[in-house]
Structure 1
Amino acid sequence: MARLGYIFSEVFLILNILLSSTAQIFPVPRNEDKNFWHNQAAEEIQIAMATATSYNWGIAKNVVLFVGDGMGITPTVAGRIFKGQKRYGRSGEEEYLSWEKFPHMSLVKVYNTDRQVPDSAATATAFLTGTKGNFYTIGLDSSVSMNQCLKSRDPETWQSSVLEWAQDVGKDTGFVTTTTVTHGTPAALYAHSANREWECDAFLREEGHGCKDIARQLVEDLPGQNIKVIMGGGRLAMGAVPSIQPQHESLCVRKDRRNLANEWISSKEVHGRKVSYVQNQRELLNVDTAHSDYLLGLFADSHMAYEADRNKGIEGEPSLANMTSTAIKILSKNKHNGFFLMVEGGRIDHALHSTQTHKALEEILAFDDAVNTALSMVDLTETLFIVTSDHSHVMTINGYPERGNNILGVADVSTVDQLPYTTLMFTNGPSYDHYWNGTHVTRPNISSMDISNKEYTPIVAVPSLYESHSGDDVATYAQGPMAHLFHTLHEQTYVAHVMGFAACMGPYKFNCTRPEAHLSRLLRR
């Protein structure tokens, strides 16, 4: 009887899993026979052959860089499947994200000069300045290590970014992010800091005494002063809210009580420039882009909300796509010299650090929407368009789930402990939940949990307060002038150099000669 009871309990467990919403099997295309795969491959060969004979050797008037923070290859695959399942009700594996159809791509190595597994500040320094730096440092060469404030004040250690290169050749510049505007990735565009956490003066502490915080560098120094479009979160670090006591130690609240947002605005208006300052969706939609010279959008005290949590009403925060659209409308008014724009899906990274897979995939879809929006607004014959990531995460797609299985669902039932486990899991993170039940080590039975909930975090192998990055290579996708330079495995610094060479700026301002045969063809156009 005991054996029979065990069998019934196992059958009940499996039925419970199969009947759950996360066990949904999305329909698989029925025409995938031999002819389907052969015809598909033949079409792709023709596309590849046409691509190889139609490289764009022109000079990029505009450069658009999209950065999916933490969006390595594994999160990208999961996002691709999630897109097909959520938006089209398909199995998802056959889906594509917008950039995955770009004609050129490569892999990029993400290590820091002092770490096998990197952080976002040093990786941003690499792909935005063309020089690798040390862990947790921003815009500095490898002679400066984390917290070396005095050494970081030496201008010889400062690395100029592609944004500064663009301003130097007369391009308008801007950036959009879903993090604070002083966060690790955007800060590498304009700041030089021995610690990425020095976003406001309160976080300088003893180690940063004598150094200028990142928010002040954005407002007071070049190239920050001349950035025409700045959008993201970070009102606290910018002093754009009344002085308050932070509710969490991670919030950077200015001690000097300066309102740097107002100072930034005033510094433009005193020279007769038209400046727009917006704090919600309604205000952003009402911006007169045709007559705005500068735009500052600060939509949250700290980071902007996750897409899954975002108030999509008129008084809420705008989407990444809406911010991107407005940025391009303003920057594209520079008809002669063009523009540089960086757009960061910054909260992909944060959701993965929290092992909140549902939220992370929603962030990737919002990023996909923003890329599609930008693609519809630019001329790719004169715009180098790049989509990349700074690093990946320790998320894995595991088990042997059936084709079309809900990517947020159960992969299988373990043959060892007879408990189900999810397709998406992490090697470390905060949701470690193995425990001693009196006879052996076990883990929770997720069949009774709502694993489709956006707050759900799958079990991890190693306990950690915060899931870590991984050292995996990441992919870079490109189209437009000189996009074919992405063609193999590259150092992450190469990304900045391609942007510089394509647009004849920075180190390539006077040295961007194309091969003679291609140059003569360009002149005949």
Structure 2
Amino acid sequence: MHSLLVVMGVVCALVVPSGQVVYPSPNPQETETSFWMDHGRRELTEALQQTPNNNKAKNVILFLGDGMGITAMTAGRILKGQKKGVSGEEENLVWDRFSNMGLLKTYNLDRQVPDSAATATAFLSGVKGNYLTVGVNGKVKSKDCAASLKKENQVSTILKWAQEAGKDTGVVTTAQVTHATPAALYAHSPYRYWQCDSKLKAEGPNALACKDIALQLVEDEPGRSMKVVMGGGRQEMGAGIDPEATKKCERSDGRNLVKEWQQDKASQGKTSAYVTTTGDLKKLNAEGTDYIMGLFGDIHVPYEDMVKVAVRRLKRSDNGFFLMVEGGRIDHGMHHGKPRRALEELVAMEEAVRETLEEVDLQETLVVVTADHSHVMTMNGYPDRGNDIFGVTINEEDVSDHLPYTTLMFTTGEGFNYTWNGTEVIRRNLTGVDTTHKDFVPLAAVPTYPGSETHGGEDVAVYANGPMAHLFHRVHEQTYVAHVMAYASCIGPYTDCNRPFNDHRTRYKHVHHRDHDNDDDDDDERKRKGRKGYGKGSDGYNGAPALKSGGLVVLWCCVMLNKVIMWKTLKDLHPVGRTGVPQPRQEYPEEEEEEEEEEEKGGRVI
């Protein structure tokens, strides 16, 4: 019956007089109060049944939607529903149903609005860097080759930590395998666009001491030890096979890094496979191959079956695995101001997440879904419920020129289209225009060169399921993602794998970065209660949560013993009947309240 209603609604929607599709709600009963009361009760029941999963994560999978801001996810959710023939607003992306989420601050150390290289460095290494730099800390500015070569300025990532723990690792991307996000896994470069040697040479002599990103992937650790590398980017690897491909970063040294990669694996006595087509990928015996490299385009590539093959290969590891999957073309669609291209990629990534969840056990696999940054697309107007997400709204009461406009628009981009008619500024009339076409470019407020729509600077969401997923629970620095992934799987800085002391209290403290130890934890409470903040380590920090301190228990006992001795001494000095017997100090409720008030004045509120 439900399916019949949906089909009838779609048929009706397709013949509305305006010619614009309006999709029906799949829930005809939603106008009833009881519908929403029942809906709320079900969600509340689910929430009450949630319990933290404190297991050690054998596997970690990070899905990264490049440029997948909140607006993009909302619009993508609606698109997913409308592809089913319903209104879409009520739809859920697969990660909408994850048990835990938070928000991430995305700024770079030197920019309010970030780029993909520095943001990837943040969520993969736990250290923020500067605009356009990858795999280095804030001491390295863009194009500063000399600073990037200093070991103390290079940061290690979750990829390296996983390999050191004996885990298999891999990356799947719809962008180039040397692009900003995957490069942050394995490379150290002061400039994200030094993907091939010709870019370095073009920069001048000061850059020649640095190694291009493609070469770092093949020659250096941890890139060299990745078991799965799949995406685009044959040009940078010196393995281009399409003479018509746009020349963006060709190798000038004549090296074919794919062949060198194959030779390296053979010298180790390992099997390897290099595939370039979807057909080859589907025929590949992932369970019987040690190393897999798939380069499916000279530059960028769609998903195909990359994720499924990657997971099946990595699952062979007895010690578990780490895999990062990037939906890189969400970002590309946005930069060109083409929301349909961006959101179709988002929905494709969502399907990859869904299929991956069928391949893994969430009792032992932490799955994280997030974005590196947002874009300046906004969702505006007052379109009818179920209006085509790529459609227009006609809102004559509020719009002074009485022209239709698209629900999705940009603040910057190549869609800028205002003209002067001699009397007033006018914009494009969209009446009769197919705004749902994949290459339609909505209006933008500020003109940019093609492909140069800018990123957005607002927070992005992070969703998680699996072991320690509940650690995503508020607004965090983007660097926090790397720390949670490492702590959940007991690798890198968190190899001791201590689990938290649970006292089931919720604390809030407004913390500024000027705190002496620059952390975001409840220092006053920890100190007052005698709780160790971070476990063992020469600098007091290795990520272990607050634990009861045995030393302070001993100290407390000494203090109490001292009080008894003092009381006995005073009793001997002041016999009863002359001055009275002094009593040990009692802890009165009024005094405890005064102490709490003083602590609140100092900035801590429980």
TM-score, normalised to structure 2's length?
0.77
Deviation at 1:289?
1.2
Distance of 1:19 and 1:110 partners within structure 2: 45
Distance 2:186 2:375 in 1: 26
| SS of aligned partner of 2:345 | helix
State, as a whole percentage, how many aligned pairs show the same letter: 51
Taking the aligned partners of 1:97 and 1:55, their CA distance within structure 2 comes to 22
Deviation at residue 269 of structure 1 after TM alignment: 1.1
Letter matched to residue 289 of structure 1: A
- In structure 1, the partner of 2:306 is 323
Query: What is the CA-CA distance between 1:243 and the residue it aligns to?
Result: 10
Q: Does 1:269 align with 2:266?
A: yes
The 5 A counterparts of 1:89-488 are: 89-204=85-200, 205-206=203-204, 208-241=207-240, 247-248=246-247, 251-305=248-302, 319=304, 322-335=305-318, 337-414=319-396, 415-465=399-449, 466-488=452-474
Aligned equivalents of 1:197, 1:37: Cα separation in 2: 51
Give 1:56's aligned residue. Answer: 53
Deviations 1:292-320 (A, max 9, x none): 00000000001115xxxxxxxxxxxx52x
Query: Equivalents in 2 of 1:20, 1:331: separation in Å?
Result: 52
Aligned partners of 1:398 and 1:411 also within 8 Å = no
Partner of 1:492: 478
Q: Is the 8 A contact 1:109 1:492 kept in 2?
A: yes
Shift in Å at residue 223 of structure 1?
Answer: 0.2
Q: Distance in 2 between matches of 1:479 and 1:244?
A: 44
SS at match of 2:464: strand
The AA in structure 1 aligned to 2:301 is: M
Equivalent residue, structure 2, for 1:25: 22
- Residue in 1 that maps onto 2:11: none
The Cα of 1:468 is off from its aligned counterpart by 0.4
Any gaps of 5 or more consecutive residues in structure 1?
A: 1-16, 306-317, 519-525
Q: CA deviation at 1:484?
A: 0.4
CA contact (8 A) 2:175 2:233 kept: yes
Equivalent position of 1:82 in the other structure: 79
Maintained 8 Å contact 1:146/1:194:
yes
Inter-partner Cα distance in structure 1 for 2:242 and 2:453:
32
Classify the secondary structure of the residue corresponding to 2:192: coil
Larger deviation, residues 506-515 vs 276-285: 506-515
Aligned-residue offset at 1:515: 3.4
Greater Cα shift, 170-179 or 41-50: 41-50
Tell me the distance in 1 between the aligned counterparts of 2:273 and 2:409. 43
Deviation per CA, 1:436-467, whole angstroms, max 9, x where unpaired? Answer: 12332111111132211111000111111111
CA contact (8 A) 2:21 2:387 kept: yes
Give every structure 1 segment of 4 or more consecutive aligned residues whose post-TM-superposition deviation is greater than 3 Å: 17-21, 242-248, 511-518
Given that residues 23 and 82 in structure 2 are in contact (C-alpha distance below 8 angstroms), is that contact kept between their aligned partners in structure 1? Answer: yes
Are the equivalent residues in 2 in contact too, given 1:502–1:512 (CA < 8 A)?
A: no
Give, as a single letter, the amino acid of the residue that structure 2 aligns with 1:150.
A
The letter for the 2-side match of 1:371 is: V
Q: Which amino acid aligns with 1:77?
A: T
Larger Rg: 2
2:498 aligns with: 512
In structure 2, give the amino acid aligned to 1:279: T
After TM superposition, the structure 1 stretch with the greater mean CA deviation from structure 2, 365-374 or 238-247, is 238-247
Q: Comparing 375-384 with 413-422, which one deviates more in the overlay?
A: 413-422
Aligned-pair CA distance for 1:246: 7.1
Deviation at 1:512, TM superposition (A): 3.5
CA contact under 8 A between 1:243 and 1:253: conserved in structure 2?
A: no
Separation of aligned partners in 2, 1:365 and 1:292: 30
Partner AA of 1:451 in structure 2: T
Aligned position for 2:10: none
Tell me, which stretches of 5 or more residues in structure 2 are unaligned? 1-14, 505-606
Q: Which amino acid aligns with 1:341?
A: L
- The 1-side partners of 2:75 and 2:432 are apart by 24
- 1:512 & 1:145 partners in 2: Cα distance? 36
Shift of residue 413, structure 1, vs aligned partner: 4.0
Corresponding position of 1:38? 37
Taking the aligned partners of 1:253 and 1:116, their CA distance within structure 2 comes to 33
8 Å Cα contact 1:138/1:196 also seen in 2: yes
Distance 2:499 2:392 in 1: 54
CA 1:107/1:98 → structure 2, altered by over 3 Å: closer, same or farther? same
8 Å CA contact 1:198–1:208 kept in 2: the answer is: no
- Equivalent residue letter for 1:435: T
CA distance in 1, matches of 2:252, 2:16: 55
- Cα distance in 1 for partners of 2:24, 2:16 equals 15
Quote the offset at 1:271 in angstroms: 1.5
Question: What SS does the corresponding residue of 2:140 show, helix, strand or coil?
Answer: coil
Task: Give, in angstroms, the shift of residue 202 of structure 1.
Answer: 1.1
Question: Residues 437 and 65 from structure 1, CA distance in 2 versus in 1: closer, same or farther, beyond 3 angstroms?
Answer: same
Question: Are 1:428 and 1:464, in contact at CA under 8 Å, matched by a contact in 2?
Answer: yes
Paired residues of 2:126 and 2:482 also in contact (CA < 8 A): yes
Distance (Å, rounded) in 1 between the aligned partners of 2:345 and 2:240: 27
C-alpha distance after superposition, 1:467-521 (max 9, x if no partner): 1000110100001000000001100000000001000001101353443899xxx
What is the Cα-based RMSD across aligned positions, in Å? 1.8
Tell whether the 8 Å contact from 2:245 to 2:298 is kept in structure 1 after alignment: no
Answer 1 or 2: higher relative contact order, Cα 8 Å, separation at least 6: 1
The Cα offsets for residues 95-137 of structure 1, whole Å up to 9 and x where unpaired, read as 0001110000001110011110000000000000000000000
Query: SS in structure 2 opposite 1:40?
Result: helix
Number of matched pairs:
482
